[in-house]
Amino acid sequence: MLYNKAWRAIAYQLLAMTLVIGTGVYVVLNLQDALAARNIATGFGFLLQPAGFAIGETLLPFNSTDAFWRAYAVGITNTLFVSALAIVGATVVGVAVAFMRLSRNPLLSGVGRAYVEGFRNTPQLVQVIFWYALVTRLPHPRNPFVPVEGVLVSNRGLYLPAPAEQGAWFWALIAACLGLLLALAYLRHGERRRHETGRVRRLWPGMVLLVLVPPLLAWWLVGAPTAWVRPELQGFRVVGGFVFSPEFIALFLGLSLYIAAFIAEIVRAGLNAVSQGQREAARALGLKAWQIQRLVVVPQALRVIVPPATAQYVSLVKNSSLGVAIGYPELFNVNNTILTLSGHVLEAIAIMMAVYLSISLAVSAMMNAYNRSVQVQER
């Protein structure tokens, strides 16, 4: 029986299970002692109690009498906000650097290469802290740098003009998102019609209309507000307008510029993976240069690009937790404060891990769905 493979497998698994359960019991017993000794409370009831601390930078309204769960909501929205903007930034910079590296011009390809090597071969955390130190070197708000009228750059942040009635612009933004979705649906529908009927119709006028009309209509419906508030110096502080804090700017730069170096390499590899024959064949069919890119090169390159790029975006979202090093109130940072103030160490860590896990899994799931839609359809 000792030499029977199946029996041995069962014995190994029993052993593994015993080890895991044994460690679990040992840990829980110790945990109970530790919690009792340190007077640490347990349970999730604390989420409804007032937080008792303020958060410097919030997208949702928050003050110290609000409950702990609202503090989590603020941290999560900040994490999502900085990550979303940084993903856009990383993609734009990454694609630009990839095209520079692919350029035949040695000056451009040299700059692209230097960018990739420099940003990839230094730690992201040092980059974030370096940007933060650099932002604090900017001029004092009393004597700000003004690149364009109404924009103030100082060591207290980047101040931009903001619309006076933000509610109206919110509806316009929602309408713009809707219009974009409609335009994409129209494009798909048009392409399907082309496949069915073989007739080529111009799609772009309809798409432009669909993108432009809904936000304009929404803006007009809420009373067509045109007033803008410019940031102005009053005494020692700047009042009015929209502000990006130094912490936000440093974290945004640290996240987007670092990941851009990896995105650039992924995009370059993806474009290189499309064989020259594909381009030649497309030219032989009489496609124009931009049609070759849009219809032949990009769809094939995307299949190579999307999976590794997804991994980079997930890594970007997780590393937004580096905000803790410079004091940007994202989830990890807020969680630290909550953990210290409430004393609910285990619950706080469990909530934080659950949120990061679900964000990672959600981004992966979205990208996997997209990936399926661009996969080769074998006939």
Give the CA angle between residues 155, 157, 162 to the nearest 5°: 150
Closest CA to 270 of 315, 306, 296, 313: 306
Q: Within positions 37 to 96, which residues make up the interface with another protein, using CB under 8 A?
A: 37
Q: For 162-185, what is the HEC assignment?
A: EECCHHHHHHHHHHHHHHHHHHHH
What x/- string results for residues 97 through 136 when contact with another protein is judged by CB under 8 A? -------xxxxx--x-----xx-xxxxxxxx-xx--xx-x
Q: How many residues does the chain have?
A: 379
Beta strands in the chain (DSSP E): 152-154, 157-160, 162-163, 228-229, 232-234, 237-239, 242-244
* Residue 358 Cβ vs another protein, minimum distance, rounded to whole Å: 9
Q: Within positions 136 to 155, which residues make up the interface with another protein, using CB under 8 A?
A: 136-137
C-beta closer to another protein: residue 3 or 198:
3
Give the residue, chosen from 42, 77, 360, 371, that forms a contact with another protein under the rule CB under 8 A.
360
C-beta closer to another protein: residue 161 or 308:
308
DSSP assignment letter at 136? T
Closest CA to 330 of 157, 83, 33, 113: 83
Three-state DSSP state, 239: strand
C-beta closer to another protein: residue 108 or 302:
108
C-beta closer to another protein: residue 22 or 299:
22
Q: What is the DSSP string of 3-33?
A: T-HHHHHHHHHHHHHHHHHHHHHHHHHHHHH
* Residue 62 Cβ vs another protein, minimum distance, rounded to whole Å: 23
- Judged by CB under 8 A, the number of residues near another protein is 52
Question: Which stretch in 13-21, 46-54, 177-185, 216-224 sits in contact with another protein by CB under 8 A?
Answer: 13-21
CA separation for the pair 172, 167 (Å, rounded): 9
Cβ neighbourhood burial of 303 (10 Å; 0-12, 13-18, 19+): middle
* Residue 357 Cβ vs another protein, minimum distance, rounded to whole Å: 4
Question: Which stretch in 63-71, 249-257, 302-310, 320-328 sits in contact with another protein by CB under 8 A?
Answer: 320-328
* Residue 107 Cβ vs another protein, minimum distance, rounded to whole Å: 5
Give the residue, chosen from 146, 289, 357, 366, that forms a contact with another protein under the rule CB under 8 A.
357
DSSP assignment letter at 327? T
**356-362, Cβ contacts within 8 angstroms, sequence gap of 24 or more:** 356/317, 356/318, 356/321, 356/331, 359/79, 359/80, 359/317, 359/318, 360/314, 360/317, 360/318
* Residue 359 Cβ vs another protein, minimum distance, rounded to whole Å: 9
9 near another protein, rule: CB under 8 A: yes
321 near another protein, rule: CB under 8 A: yes
With contact defined as beta carbons under 8 Å apart, do 230 and 240 qualify? yes
20 near another protein, rule: CB under 8 A: yes
C-beta closer to another protein: residue 27 or 366:
27
12 near another protein, rule: CB under 8 A: yes
Q: What are phi and psi of 71, to 5 degrees?
A: -60, -40
C-beta closer to another protein: residue 267 or 324:
324
CA separation for the pair 264, 153 (Å, rounded): 29
Half-sphere exposure for 259 (CA within 13 Å, toward CB): 29
* Residue 26 Cβ vs another protein, minimum distance, rounded to whole Å: 8
* Residue 376 Cβ vs another protein, minimum distance, rounded to whole Å: 21
C-beta closer to another protein: residue 20 or 212:
20
Residues that bind another protein (CB under 8 A): 9, 12-13, 16-17, 20, 27, 30-31, 33-35, 37, 104-108, 111, 117-118, 120-127, 129-130, 133-134, 136-137, 318-319, 321-322, 324-325, 332, 336, 345-346, 349, 352-353, 356-357, 360-361
